[in-house]
A and B are shown apart, each in its own frame.
Chain A
Amino acid sequence: MDLANFASLSHSLPALLLAFSVVAVFLLDLVIEKKEWLGDIALLVVAAAIFLVVMQLSSETGTLFHKSIVLDEFGLYFQLLVLLSSFATIWMSLGSREVRRLNQGEYWAILLAATLGMAYMASANNLLMAYLSLEFVSLTSYVLAGYSLHSRRSGEASLKYLIYGGVASGAMIYGMSWIYGLAGSLEFHAIQQALAGLDASGQLALYVALILTVAGLGFKISAFPFHMWAPDVYQGAPVPVAAFLAVGSKTAAFALMIRFFLTALAQPGGGGTYEIVGGVRWDHLLLVLSALTMTYGNLAALNQQANVKRLLAYSGIAHAGYALMGLVVLTDDGLRAMIFYLTVYYLMNIGAFLVVMMVANSTGREDLASFRGLAWRGGALPAIAMAVFMFSLTGLPPLAGFIGKFHLFAAVVKEEFYILALIGVANSVVSLFYYAKIVRTMFLDQPEGGEGVVEVDMHNGLLLGLLTIGTIVLGLFWGPLFDFADRSARLFVG
């Protein structure tokens, strides 16, 4: 199915809704007195968008807008994930003292705009669409990262993000233009077919082009060595924004990356595998990237003593490395493991940031010391939830993070990448050290006084409860979600 513009619109209702609401929120901001209502409106909009996406599931697959957008389960799955991240972010923002203090209407509009960009990233089917959606997300993210106007850190974060992001996106569009030159088309499927008969000199060019493109995508998923921005930006940005960048934008970038590599540079090889076209072994490139990213992320996190948001940033880098393993193996097993992992990652990471926010709400601080003895000073619930997220991120059963890693390692071991699997598990052990450090601070250290009591209000507590229960339940019964991920692991090509 390939639909022309008008017919395509009827299949883009979620995106349309988001786009209209961005404008609407901007306009309402001018007239409305109580700016918090805009947040509620944004929440409703995202909830409605989630509903619309769910309605589209298991409908016809095909391309829209002259093959620039794909409508398939894979894209919809990631749109759901992005929308859920956005929903959680808005929910968190409504309960964040930090954001409430800023009290600005356009915050919600920009969040919605970023969500729109991410949703397009999940379904982009040609280089131009990929680039546009990615840049759209980047620009809105720069603004969000710098949202705490009066915080120097926030401004610095935003600037750093902008500069690194500019370089990465420059590299990427340069690489993409090479690909266009080689293939003569922007559309992924056409690229795949054009690359099939590439000669030796063309392969060299493609190699360069891919490295440049990976720089842009690697920046978004914060893979080593394009990760430098992440710790500073997470630390400087308001907590909900940090969570949004860590989860939403990373997930969307993974979606784009998967689709780009598996539909433009590979073709289904039968038996649940993919074959590379064009003769450039980009899977090796990604293998090295994956191993380096997880190792670097974990080692760097070990050195993080002070700020929990920074620590989560490094941990996020490490997790990008784990997730990449799923792409390296070039199988359906790897792909669905990756999809599943990113879903679990959503629960754990949003949860962790939420606890950081709850602590920050009460104490105004985000450093490790503010977590001291959390379990014993009224914050038993957040402390237990945080322990669940931390152990889940480490990959301990019976928590969801273990199942996520289990599937990834299973996919890797199945293809007999034993070394990569061993690097992965060694990293899991290292990661235990710093995740346990947070747990230790919360449970084993006694509060010294002056850290303040952490209160749990209904608003934040509800989300926290859902995320915690999700993390535990998915560790015991992950079958249905895994089947869903499995269904969504089939990419529409053509």
Chain B
Amino acid sequence: MLTWMIFTPLIGAALILLMPKKAEAAIKWVALGATVPPLIMAFQLFGSFDRTTPDMQLVQRVAWIPAFNIEYYVGVDGISITMILLTALLSTICIVASWNIDKAVKAYFPLFLLLDTAMMGVFCALDFFLFFVFWEVMLLPMYFLIGIWGGPRREYAAIKFFLYTMVGSVLMLVAMLALYFYNDPHTFDMLELARRAPTYSDNFQRFAWIALFIGFAIKIPAFPFHTWLPDAHVEAPTAISVILAGVLLKMGAYGILRINYAILPVGTLEFAYYFLVVLGVVNIIYGALCAMAQTDYKKLIAYSSISHMGYVMFGMATFTQQGIDGAVLQMFNHGTVTAMLFLLVGVIYDRAHHREINGFGGLASIMPFYTGWTAFAFFAAMGLPGLSAFISEVLVLLGGWRYYPVLTVISAAAVVLTAGYMLWTMQRIYLGPANEKYLDLPDINMREVGMLVPLAIIVIILGVYPKPVLSLIDVSLTHLNETVLSAGQGPVASATGILSAR
């Protein structure tokens, strides 16, 4: 089933390539048709998943290149399923959001579907080589999607995105090869690599950890590797911004959990203690401050993403049940909330053809319905109780409080910053006297609302009752956390005092 889920979009892409160029509407429907089955399968997975075991489920293994012991090896645990749900959901929504694409339709949708396949693949892969291939495959469509269908500075943004990610990937490649050869018999099997973790020397873990971390941190994006993100976001078309913020950023955090945490626990403890946690807090504060300084609506949302991803890093680095659960929940919640925000920016951009925050004003009286939706999304992003982001942020802070009280207070204070820039934006765009120029803007239409509704429902449900997702990730994460902490019995960890701090 996982294989079908991964490759259905690719089949759709192949179908589109066979269709005549002129049949634009048909192409769009085929693209939609290729993203819906994975969504249904993801929901089935969500329902049928055995939540009591941390083991991988629905595992499928086929030898791919036997000479190098490379396998097509996929399987899912709670963390993967959460991400797969997010991917499947956002992909479908983004196809709808791309409905107004009219330039080179026959190229856009296959590329998008290829991207979808790559994202699904990353979250399902259990073979490191396969993971790497999917990870890299994602780059190519992204480059074209930003570079061809993006805004005025699209070329610069596309190549910058490409180069940054490539730097990370090649470091990942070297670390991957080092892991492969370090083990005897050589293997790319991520579970096997994790099982052998106790045999790795401390220095090896340190180097491999850093190489892998840089690769993933660029994707998150962690300060100071974040500069590609605002550019990419601003230039990308709406649907691609949604995918970028909603799914791609999560891959970085996912990679750290799946690979750094599981395979290199000693390195994880050592660096998380000093490093990851600080980076997380820096991201939270720095992202919020940058967001406050923006006058471009989309850039503001982009920086707020950086800020919100900081909670993910902070939560992961606390090694407490709440913290790490909160981190993964935040990954999911940020995906839905930020998707709404980008979709809403897209709505206004489609109508006014600019995103200058100061160029609007008083939209509330012109587009009341739209303003209501924006207010909802803003409140969700601010972490208002009752909406999903609140739960995950609180969990992260609760987890952080036990070991990092000072940093937790700082992070909690950033919530005020977030509320500050969000409300200020609200005021500048939607309140006050209406701008004469935009008096005849049409309100949000049914297609656009249709994209927002499912997201809003999820935000509300998870805000009140997060258990469906928490129960999904809890067992997997507890297991992961314990693996990491138990590796900390070694000399390095005790020397750094990590365990005594627990």
B-contacting residues of A (Cβ < 8 Å)?
391, 396-398, 402, 406, 409-410, 413-414, 418, 421-422, 425-426, 428-429, 432-433, 436, 439-440, 443-444, 477-479, 482-483, 486
For the complex, what is the distance from the CA of A350 to the CA of B21, rounded to whole Å?
Answer: 30
| Cross-chain contact B174 with A410 (CB below 8 angstroms) | no
| Cross-chain contact A443 with B144 (CB below 8 angstroms) | yes
| Cross-chain contact B170 with A426 (CB below 8 angstroms) | yes
Q: Look across to chain B and name the residue whose beta carbon is closest to the beta carbon of A388.
A: B140
* A396, A410, A486: the one within 8 Å of B181 (CB): A410
Interchain residue pairs with CB less than 8 A apart (16): A397-B133, A397-B136, A409-B173, A409-B174, A409-B177, A413-B177, A414-B177, A425-B170, A425-B174, A429-B163, A429-B170, A432-B162, A440-B147, A443-B147, A443-B148, A486-B67
Given contacts A418-B174, A425-B173, contact A436 B136 (CB under 8 A): no
Contacts of B159 in A (CB 8 A): 433, 436, 440
For the complex, what is the distance from the CA of A443 to the CA of B171, rounded to whole Å?
Answer: 28
| Cross-chain contact B137 with A398 (CB below 8 angstroms) | yes
| Cross-chain contact A421 with B174 (CB below 8 angstroms) | yes
Q: Look across to chain A and name the residue whose beta carbon is closest to the beta carbon of B167.
A: A429
Q: How far is the CB of B69 from chain A (nearest CB, A)?
A: 12
* Interface presence of B81 (CB below 8 A): no
Contacts of B158 in A (CB 8 A): 440, 444
Given contacts A428-B170, A432-B162, A432-B166, contact A410 B140 (CB under 8 A): no
| Cross-chain contact A436 with B67 (CB below 8 angstroms) | no
| Cross-chain contact B171 with A402 (CB below 8 angstroms) | no
Q: How far is the CB of B125 from chain A (nearest CB, A)?
A: 12
Q: How far is the CB of A386 from chain B (nearest CB, A)?
A: 14
For the complex, what is the distance from the CA of A432 to the CA of B161, rounded to whole Å?
Answer: 12
* B65, B163, B174: the one within 8 Å of A432 (CB): B163
Nearest 8 A/B pairs, CB to CB:
A425-B170, A413-B177, A397-B133, A397-B136, A414-B181, A444-B147, A479-B65, A429-B166
Q: How far is the CB of A85 from chain B (nearest CB, A)?
A: 26
Contacts of A418 in B (CB 8 A): 174, 178
Contacts of B65 in A (CB 8 A): 477-479, 482
| Cross-chain contact A397 with B170 (CB below 8 angstroms) | no
Q: Look across to chain B and name the residue whose beta carbon is closest to the beta carbon of A486.
A: B67
Q: Look across to chain A and name the residue whose beta carbon is closest to the beta carbon of B175.
A: A413
Is the contact region of chain A dominated by helix, strand, or loop, or is it mixed?
helix
Contacts of A439 in B (CB 8 A): 143
| Cross-chain contact A396 with B139 (CB below 8 angstroms) | yes
Contacts of B181 in A (CB 8 A): 410, 413-414
* Interface presence of B213 (CB below 8 A): no
For the complex, what is the distance from the CA of A406 to the CA of B181, rounded to whole Å?
Answer: 13
Is the contact region of chain B dominated by helix, strand, or loop, or is it mixed?
helix
* Interface presence of B378 (CB below 8 A): no
* Interface presence of B224 (CB below 8 A): no
Q: How far is the CB of B210 from chain A (nearest CB, A)?
A: 12
* A396, A409, A433, A479: the one within 8 Å of B163 (CB): A433
Contacts of B162 in A (CB 8 A): 432, 436
Since A397-B136, A398-B136, A443-B144 are in contact, a sample of 11 more A-B pairs with Cβ atoms closer than 8 Å, ordered by chain A residue number, is A396-B140, A397-B132, A398-B133, A410-B177, A421-B177, A425-B171, A428-B166, A433-B163, A479-B65, A482-B65, A486-B67
For the complex, what is the distance from the CA of A482 to the CA of B64, rounded to whole Å?
Answer: 13
Contacts of B133 in A (CB 8 A): 397-398
Q: Look across to chain B and name the residue whose beta carbon is closest to the beta carbon of A402.
A: B136
* Interface presence of B356 (CB below 8 A): no
Contacts of B140 in A (CB 8 A): 391, 396
Q: Look across to chain B and name the residue whose beta carbon is closest to the beta carbon of A410.
A: B177
Contacts of A486 in B (CB 8 A): 67
Interface residue ranges of B168-195 to A (CB < 8 Å):
170-171, 173-174, 177-178, 180-181
For the complex, what is the distance from the CA of A486 to the CA of B137, rounded to whole Å?
Answer: 27
Q: How far is the CB of A421 from chain B (nearest CB, A)?
A: 5
For the complex, what is the distance from the CA of A270 to the CA of B148, rounded to whole Å?
Answer: 54
Q: How far is the CB of B145 from chain A (nearest CB, A)?
A: 11
| Cross-chain contact B66 with A479 (CB below 8 angstroms) | yes
Given contacts A436-B159, A440-B155, A444-B147, contact A482 B139 (CB under 8 A): no
For the complex, what is the distance from the CA of A101 to the CA of B431, rounded to whole Å?
Answer: 72
* Interface presence of B154 (CB below 8 A): yes
- Chain B window 40-84, contacts with chain A (Cβ cutoff 8 Å), 1 for yes, 0 for no: 000000000000000000000000011110000000000000000
| Cross-chain contact B67 with A479 (CB below 8 angstroms) | yes
| Cross-chain contact A436 with B170 (CB below 8 angstroms) | no
Q: How far is the CB of B154 from chain A (nearest CB, A)?
A: 7
Q: How far is the CB of A104 from chain B (nearest CB, A)?
A: 42
Q: Look across to chain A and name the residue whose beta carbon is closest to the beta carbon of B170.
A: A425
Interface residue ranges of B108-145 to A (CB < 8 Å):
132-133, 136-137, 139-140, 143-144
For the complex, what is the distance from the CA of A44 to the CA of B347, rounded to whole Å?
Answer: 62
Contacts of B144 in A (CB 8 A): 443
For the complex, what is the distance from the CA of A443 to the CA of B146, rounded to whole Å?
Answer: 12
Q: How far is the CB of A425 from chain B (nearest CB, A)?
A: 4
Contacts of A482 in B (CB 8 A): 65, 67
Contacts of A414 in B (CB 8 A): 177, 181
Q: Look across to chain B and name the residue whose beta carbon is closest to the beta carbon of A445.
A: B155
For the complex, what is the distance from the CA of A414 to the CA of B181, rounded to whole Å?
Answer: 6
Q: How far is the CB of B130 from chain A (nearest CB, A)?
A: 10
Listed residue (A397, A409, A443) with the most chain B CB atoms within 10 angstroms of its CB: A397
Q: How far is the CB of A409 from chain B (nearest CB, A)?
A: 6
Contacts of B167 in A (CB 8 A): 429
For the complex, what is the distance from the CA of A440 to the CA of B158, rounded to whole Å?
Answer: 10
Q: Look across to chain B and name the residue whose beta carbon is closest to the beta carbon of A426.
A: B170
For the complex, what is the distance from the CA of A219 to the CA of B140, rounded to whole Å?
Answer: 35
| Cross-chain contact B67 with A483 (CB below 8 angstroms) | yes
Contacts of B171 in A (CB 8 A): 425
Q: Look across to chain A and name the residue whose beta carbon is closest to the beta carbon of B104.
A: A376
For the complex, what is the distance from the CA of A410 to the CA of B148, rounded to whole Å?
Answer: 35
Contacts of A440 in B (CB 8 A): 147, 155, 158-159
| Cross-chain contact B143 with A436 (CB below 8 angstroms) | yes
Q: Look across to chain B and name the residue whose beta carbon is closest to the beta carbon of A412.
A: B177
* A413, A433, A436: the one within 8 Å of B178 (CB): A413
Contacts of A432 in B (CB 8 A): 162-163, 166
For the complex, what is the distance from the CA of A482 to the CA of B143, rounded to whole Å?
Answer: 30
For the complex, what is the distance from the CA of A367 to the CA of B151, rounded to whole Å?
Answer: 27
Q: Look across to chain A and name the residue whose beta carbon is closest to the beta carbon of B135.
A: A397
Q: How far is the CB of A79 from chain B (nearest CB, A)?
A: 24
Contacts of A478 in B (CB 8 A): 65
Q: How far is the CB of B120 from chain A (nearest CB, A)?
A: 15
Given contacts A409-B177, A418-B174, A479-B67, contact A397 B137 (CB under 8 A): yes
For the complex, what is the distance from the CA of A439 to the CA of B141, rounded to whole Å?
Answer: 13
Contacts of A391 in B (CB 8 A): 140
- Chain B window 428-441, contacts with chain A (Cβ cutoff 8 Å), 1 for yes, 0 for no: 00000000000000
